[in-house]
């Protein structure tokens, strides 16, 4: 498979290593922070986009314009995602987004929703989310933490929104963000009461799980159409 890497930071390099091990070809490595030049006459089967919030929208639109299936794991720009979904449909293209491509994290997402469903009506518990990442991560809270928050808000109707600061308001779901090295990513959902605590936690030991998930999706993506996500790939 011929892969275009848009973003050649730590994730891009990890994806490249695993892609080559799986006998794929990297036809281009683009760093949008310095250069987005690429000869789009070069055949490409799929583009993998891991960049920064400021450039993700432009990068994905460019791929859709060039009829290249694109998957993105960039976080921190989701206020524009609905517009991009509409643009993908207009172009009859293929756009796959996930806040986290780790298969373990996506199982964790489903476990989080199941627990939130069970906690409906248990008003003696206060729920919160904690996320820890390396100091180079630019956005806070993480996209993974936001996905966890959305899963909780879906079932705990007394919670109206998430906030990224301490709050005593019953309608606000607190996400606490910490940045320290080395930390590929730890996410914890806590339900606390005066009697006991209930906690679920996912800890990433390296970037390999994220990179492998992205490559598995990239292998599946050609031939698919429309706006897609991990539920489509994993068929939950």
Nearest partner of 198 among 131, 145, 128, 104, judged by Cα: 128
Residue 95: burial class (beta carbons within 10 Å; 0-12, 13-18, 19+) = buried
Token couple for 34: 């310095």
Q: Per the residue annotation, which of 10, 89, 137, 190 is the catalytic one?
A: 137
3-state secondary structure 99-124: CCCCHHHHHHHHHHHHHHHHCCCCCC
B/e letters for 176-195, b = 16+ CB within 10 Å, e = fewer, are bbeeeeebbbbbbbbbeeee
Tell me the C-alpha distance between 58 and 189, whole Å.
33
Q: Per the residue annotation, which of 24, 133, 159, 202 is the catalytic one?
A: 133
Tell me the C-alpha distance between 208 and 193, whole Å.
36
Query: Taking the mean position of all CA atoms in its chain, how far away is CA 129?
Result: 16
In the numeric block, the tokens 């080559």 are attached to 20
Tell me the C-alpha distance between 35 and 29, whole Å.
10
Assess whether 133 carries a catalytic annotation.
Answer: yes
Pairing of strands 186-192, 197-203: antiparallel
Q: Following DSSP, what letter does each residue of 172-209 receive, concatenated? A: EEEEEEEE-SS-S-EEEEEEE-SS-EEEEEEE--SSHH
Assess whether 187 carries a catalytic annotation.
Answer: no
Which residues participate in catalysis according to the annotation? 133, 137
């Amino acid at each position: 498979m011929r892969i275009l890497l848009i973003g050649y930071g730590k994730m891009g390099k990890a994806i490249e290593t695993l892609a080559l091990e799986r006998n794929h070809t990297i036809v281009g490595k683009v760093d949008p922070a310095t250069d987005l030049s690429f000869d789009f006459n070069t055949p490409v089967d799929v583009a993998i986009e891991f960049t920064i919030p400021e450039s993700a929208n432009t990068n994905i639109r460019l791929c859709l314009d060039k009829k290249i299936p694109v998957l993105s794991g960039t976080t921190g720009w989701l206020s524009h995602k609905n517009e991009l979904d509409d643009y993908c449909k207009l172009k009859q293209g293929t756009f796959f987004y996930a806040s986290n491509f780790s298969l373990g994290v996506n199982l964790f997402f489903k476990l989080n929703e199941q627990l939130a469903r069970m906690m409906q009506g248990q008003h003696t518990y206060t729920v919160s989310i904690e996320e820890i990442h390396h100091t180079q991560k630019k956005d806070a809270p993480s996209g993974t933490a936001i996905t966890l928050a959305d899963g909780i808000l879906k079932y705990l109707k007394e919670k109206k929104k998430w906030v990224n600061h301490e709050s005593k308001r019953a309608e606000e779901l607190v996400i606490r963000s910490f940045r320290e090295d080395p930390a590929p990513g730890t996410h914890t959902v806590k339900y606390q009461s005066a009697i006991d605590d209930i906690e679920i936690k996912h800890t990433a030991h390296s970037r390999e799980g994220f990179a492998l998930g992205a490559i598995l999706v990239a292998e599946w993506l050609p031939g698919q159409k429309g706006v897609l996500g991990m539920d489509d790939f994993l068929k939950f």
